[in-house]
Amino acid sequence: MQRFTGGRPPYPQPDRQAAEDSARQSGATRTTASASAPAVEFTDASKSYGPVRALADLSVRLYPGETVALLGPNGAGKSTALDLLLGLRNPDPGGSVRLFGGTPRKAVTEGRVGAMLQSGGLMEGVRVHELVALACDLHPRAYDVDRVLASAGLTEIADRAVDRLSGGQEQRVRFALATAGASDLIVLDEPTTGMDVGSRQAFWASMRAEAARGRTVLFATHYLEEADEIADRVLVLHRGRLLADGSAADIKALAGVRRISFALDQAGGAVEETLRGLPGVTELELSRGASGGGTVRLRSSDADATVHAVYGQGFYPRGLEVTGLGLEQAFLTLTHRADGEQAVAA
Ligand SMILES: Nc1ncnc2c1ncn2[C@@H]1O[C@H](COP(=O)(O)OP(=O)(O)OP(=O)(O)O)[C@@H](O)[C@H]1O
């Protein structure tokens, strides 16, 4: 699960993590979604390409009915993890990836996995409905072709040649291919790239419906607002390691940083210096108004201590607001922090 170089992680883990770790240590079964057997199980899975360690000791389990977002900066190892999951590549010796208790190849052959990958063009010279029909023919538990076309929003362009589609339409065809049958696990690599707002909403509505039927949906994305809205679990990969695993709220809490803003009647250089020195303050911006007052926006790793100290220094803040970070800022805070730790360790 969450692994950090140098032993203990530098900040508290989400409750879910602790629960899973203690469940694993005690051999107990997990509660809620985890009461059933895992759909996906990575155990110490690593993958190196020559000298590049793209994935390092990934251990994580995904359960039926979970919608899981896989986040990470470019090169974090997301596509590599999905390749291992789909049996397109094997993990390095010592690690394993199991789907529904068997090999990825077995699960794929049995039609238990539907995948929508970034790469690879669509077959040329065929029409949309022909390609989707072929995918349905090949699926051991196929849906009706018209149903698949409709749920991917392709009915109106079913007669169009697949090499005459826009980027967003191509994505919808890939989505149709991934949902041609009743797969238990749906794997999506940056699925909504190029889709317009309407297509995205329809896409996620149909993914929610799949998860509600007990399917596991795993998607890699760079759109953090999608992860925030859609996923009930977020995995953050960074330099091949699992940096965080929890709900979007857990991830925001892990970042531990809050934004504080208020107005002051005074705003000189001495005020700014005093505010910068308060406990917990990591960033500060003071904009001065014409009246001599100013607006303060700061970030703090300990909002309670910062606010107490503001009053303790004799300031009278007006319009005080304390807010948490969005998932995007929390993600950046976590990954930058991990980069900083790696630089210190080096
Ligand atoms: N076939 C390959 N040969 C050599 N190195 C590779 C290969 N595929 C990936 N890598 C390297 O492995 C690391 C992880 O790459 P991967 O594509 O899994 O990351 P990612 O998180 O999917 O990135 P992105 O968000 O840019 O798609 C990167 O350093 C990448 O350069």
Query: Is any atom of ligand 1 closer than 6 Å to the C-beta of 80?
Result: yes
Residue 174 lies in a domain: yes
pLDDT at 154: 93
Phi, psi values for residue 302, rounded to 5°: -145, 85
Q: Is 148 exposed, middle or buried (0-12, 13-18, 19+ CB in 10 A)?
A: buried
Residue 338 falls inside a structural domain: no
Structural domain range at position 232: 15-253
CATH number of the domain encompassing residue 266:
3.30.70.260
Q: What is the pLDDT of residues 283-328, one digit of tens each?
A: 999 998 877 789 999 999 889 999 999 999 999 999 999 988 788 8
Last residue of a domain, one of 200, 232, 253: 253
* Residue of 276, 241, 233, 236 whose CA lies nearest to 255: 236
The whole-chain average pLDDT of the chain stands at 84
- The pLDDT tens digits for 143-154 are 999 999 998 889
Q: Are 106 and 199 in a shared domain?
A: yes
72 & 135 share domain: yes
Is residue 1 assigned to a domain?
Answer: no
| pLDDT recorded at residue 183 | 92
* Residues 86-96, mean pLDDT to the nearest whole number: 94
Residue nearest (by alpha carbon) to ligand 1 atom 29:
75
Q: Can you give the pLDDT at residue 117?
A: 81
Q: Does 160 share its domain with 277? A: no
Say if CB 185 and CB 39 are below 8 A apart: yes
- Whole-model pTM: value is 0.77
| Torsion region of 57: left, alpha or beta (phi above 0 gives left; psi -120 to 50 gives alpha) | left
For residue 181, being part of any structural domain is answered with yes
Mean pLDDT of all residues in 129-134: 94
Report the CATH number at residue 123.
Answer: 3.40.50.300
Residues in contact with 68: Cβ distance below 8 Å, sequence separation at least 6, in sequence order: 62, 216, 217, 218, 219, 231, 232, 233, 234, 235
Same domain, 285 and 303: yes
Ligand 1 atom nearest residue 55's Cα:
14
3-state secondary structure 84-116: HHCCCCCCCCCCEEEECCECHHHHHHCCCEEEE
- Which secondary structure element, helix H or strand E, spans residue 336, and what is its range? helix 327-345
224 and 151 together in one domain? yes
| Atom nearest to 81 CA in ligand 1 | 18
Residues 238 and 278 both lie in one domain: no
**Tokens, residue 125:** 């010279």
Scan for tokens 């319009």, then name that residue: 319
For residues 36 and 112, state if they share a domain. Answer: yes
Over the stretch 198-241, which tens digit does the pLDDT of each residue have? 888 888 888 888 889 899 999 998 888 888 889 999 999 999 99
Give how many domains the chain has, as a whole number. 2
Q: Report the separation in Å between the CA atom of 52 and the middle of ligand 1, taken as the mean of its atom positions.
A: 9
Regarding the beta carbon of 75 and ligand 1, being less than 6 Å apart is answered yes
- Shared domain for 300 and 153, answered yes or no, is no
